[in-house]
Amino acid sequence: MMREVADAPLRAAIYLRISQDRELDGLAIERQREDCENVVAQHKWTVAPEHVYTDQSISATDASVNRPAYDRLVRDFDAREWDALVCWDLDRLTRQPRQLEDWIDRAESRGLRIVTANGEADLGTDSGRLFARVKAAVARAEVERKSARQSRAHRQRAAMGRPPKGVRALGYSLDGTVRAGEAEAVRAIFTAFNAGASLRSIARALSGVTGPDVPAVPALPSFRTTLMRERNEARAREGLPERPVPPERPWNPSTVQGILRNPRYAGYSILTPRDARDGTMRRDSAARIVRDATGAPVHQAPADRGTVGKVALLA
């Protein structure tokens, strides 16, 4: 049995999540909380303040996305701190069939009660589990269809020589135009490397520690920090809360190597397929180059050319 005293009220946990709170007023989460608390009251359960878990503006679709409150929820259940779970809808808890099966296993093996405030699912019943599985499978299928559409669009852009979506490369804007200051730094990186400078000495120069073999490499903020600041600027324009920017860190030699291996700096159009990895789990530079029907490499569109270096380390 999960509880030693059979007639004692169950200790409940409430999990709240919203992918994006565009109004920035917290009311969407508060509505979830109120509805879940009503469920707790209807069942005559108890819920401690520390057992209300909230993930604000975090997706549940991608398993790689960190959900701090969700992770704590799982740890606390494993520690037997609560024995009933309430969420507004199952898709607030998870959108992944594999995670759903984990919760079903917990319900079956340890008597965990999982109910939703919208009344659609109760994993304590076979019909509730069936409904949850079908709903999760349908949601997963839609995610996969969306991913397929996006992948097709990326391939089309690459075949036309247009810049890739997502994270921009050092020296380029997202639309493919050249950023003069960063472009000069990229040229200096290639020049120093071709003159015999090591990856470490180039990284140190970018971090502000110059040496005799890298006199022309300028100091730059770490590219990761720059990108995070730019994303916060974009989030602010959309009315979204900014995310923490970690302290400035020195440039890493592996980041320098990634720049040197990037075919974009030779003017090639690129696309990273899922299997474009070599034996060391690095991206295979040659596999990223887009080729036409004859096997010839596709070059970036004229507006995107702005070549700022040459590829020095093609695998």
**Is residue 167 a part of any domain in this protein?**
no
Q: Based on the domain organization, do 131 and 200 belong to the same domain?
A: no
pLDDT at 294: 84
For residues 15 and 225, give the distance between their C-alpha atoms in angstroms, rounded to a whole number: 32
Task: Give me 189's structure tokens.
Answer: 């990186």
**Is residue 152 a part of any domain in this protein?**
no
For residues 224 and 241, give the distance between their C-alpha atoms in angstroms, rounded to a whole number: 19
Q: Based on the domain organization, do 16 and 122 belong to the same domain?
A: yes
Which H or E element spans position 73?
helix 68-78
Q: Based on the domain organization, do 128 and 191 belong to the same domain?
A: no
User: Collapsing DSSP states into helix, strand and coil, what is residue 47?
Assistant: strand
How many domains does the chain divide into? 2
Q: Based on the domain organization, do 133 and 34 belong to the same domain?
A: yes
User: Collapsing DSSP states into helix, strand and coil, what is residue 69?
Assistant: helix
**Is residue 70 a part of any domain in this protein?**
yes
Residue tagged 């898709």 (tokens): 91
Give me the sheet containing 84-87, strands edge to edge. 46-56, 11-18, 84-87, 113-116
**Is residue 292 a part of any domain in this protein?**
yes
Q: Based on the domain organization, do 106 and 189 belong to the same domain?
A: no
Domain that holds residue 284: 180-304
Q: Based on the domain organization, do 128 and 51 belong to the same domain?
A: yes
What single-letter amino acid sits at 211? G
Q: Based on the domain organization, do 130 and 189 belong to the same domain?
A: no
pLDDT at 7: 61
**Is residue 172 a part of any domain in this protein?**
no
User: Collapsing DSSP states into helix, strand and coil, what is residue 313?
Assistant: coil
Q: List, run by run, the mean pLDDT of 10-residue segments along the chain (315 residues).
A: 60 88 62 93 94 82 77 95 92 85 88 85 78 80 79 77 82 86 91 92 91 82 90 84 85 92 83 56 68 79 51 35
Residue 84 is part of a domain; what is its CATH number?
3.40.50.1390
**Is residue 43 a part of any domain in this protein?**
yes
Nearest alpha-carbon partner for 264 in 209, 309, 210: 309
pLDDT at 312: 34
**Is residue 74 a part of any domain in this protein?**
yes
Q: Based on the domain organization, do 132 and 188 belong to the same domain?
A: no
Task: Give me 293's structure tokens.
Answer: 């029907």
For residues 11 and 81, give the distance between their C-alpha atoms in angstroms, rounded to a whole number: 8
